[in-house]
Chains A and B, each alone.
Chain A
Amino acid sequence: EPEVTQTPSHQVTQMGQEVILRCVPISNHLYFYWYRQILGQKVEFLVSFYNNEISEKSEIFDDQFSVERPDGSNFTLKIRSTKLEDSAMYFCASSLFGSTNEKLFFGSGTQLSVL
């Protein structure tokens, strides 16, 4: 079965540094998402992306966050100036049509640790 791949699997950074988390969605999918999960807590929606623009974003997705699809295959999440509370597992997901009765395919996540 096709997979969503995320790199790196672990990222350690200093507070205030910029990080870029990378994702390669399934090739024919059109809708892309970022979620995060703080250790032991709920999965939280960050942003959805379609047709090269953000379609939805949550309150968490403030000006420190941005997403980009730079080359037609990668989908990136950038955090400009990381905070301690950004430490979490970040999941990328994609879906074919973004329809209401469609499942999401998730990557294995990037564990971000901000020191």
Chain B
Amino acid sequence: SQQGEEDPQALSIQEGENATMNCSYKTSINNLQWYRQNSGRGLVHLILIRSNEREKHSGRLRVTLDTSKKSSSLLITASRAADTASYFCAPLGSNYQLIWGAGTKLIIKP
């Protein structure tokens, strides 16, 4: 399976702390995308990192990609209560389809 696998499955931290979520996948990819899903809502695109990139920033988000280890991480700095959501990594595989993991459920405690 090419699917992304997020780790941890759940993460609970205090507001203001940094949150790090990891993702592993199994085959070669074109890019890897991270999405957020608030409870019962749709998926919102956060950031896309191409296979030839190693790091990308967007506001409080920092994504890394290590294609040799087939892994990626998403760092949210200075977390806020509004960051509470599920986070999914979605590698874009050789068949040009996004392959989804089960997500990391992030809870930010005020």
Say if A and B assemble together.
Answer: yes
- Using CB atoms, name the residue of chain B closest to A109: B42
**Chain B residues near A107 (CB-CB < 8 A):** 42
Is B12 an interface residue, CB under 8 A from the partner? no
Tell whether B92 is near chain A: CB-to-CB under 8 Å: yes
Give CA–CA (A33, B78) in the complex, Å.
34
Contact A43 B50 (CB under 8 A): no
Q: A100-B92, A101-B31, A103-B33 are in contact. Are A45 and B41 (CB under 8 A)?
A: no
Interface assignment of B44: CB less than 8 Å from any CB of chain A: yes
Is residue B95 within 8 Å, beta carbon to beta carbon, of the partner chain? yes
Other-chain contact of B48, A42, A45, A103, A108 (Cβ < 8 Å): A103
A residues 84-115 touching B (CB-CB < 8 Å) = 91, 93, 98, 100-109, 111
Instruction: From known contacts A101-B31, A103-B48, infer whether A45 and B97 are also in contact, taking CB-CB under 8 Å.
Output: yes
CB of A41 within 8 A of CB of B102, answer: yes
Chain A 24-35 interface mask (CB, 8 Å, partner B; 1/0)? 000000000001
A43: chain B residues at CB < 8 Å are 43, 88, 90, 100
Chain A residues contacting B24 (CB-CB under 8 Å) are: none
Q: Mark B19-49, 1 if CB is under 8 A from A, else 0.
A: 0000000000011010100001111110010
**CB atoms of A101 and B102 under 8 A apart:** no
Within B81-96, which residues are at the interface with A (CB < 8 Å)? 88, 90, 92, 95-96
Q: Is the CB of B43 within 8 A of A45?
A: no
How many angstroms from the CA of A111 to the CA of B39 in the assembled complex? 13
The answer on a CB contact under 8 Å between B97 and A91 is no
Answer whether A48 and B88 are a contact pair too, CB < 8 Å, given A91-B43, A106-B44, A109-B42.
no
Contact B102 A42 (CB under 8 A): yes
Interface centre among A35, A98, A103, A106 (most CB of B within 10 A): A103
A contact residues vs B (CB 8 Å cutoff):
4, 35, 41-45, 48, 56, 91, 93, 98, 100-109, 111
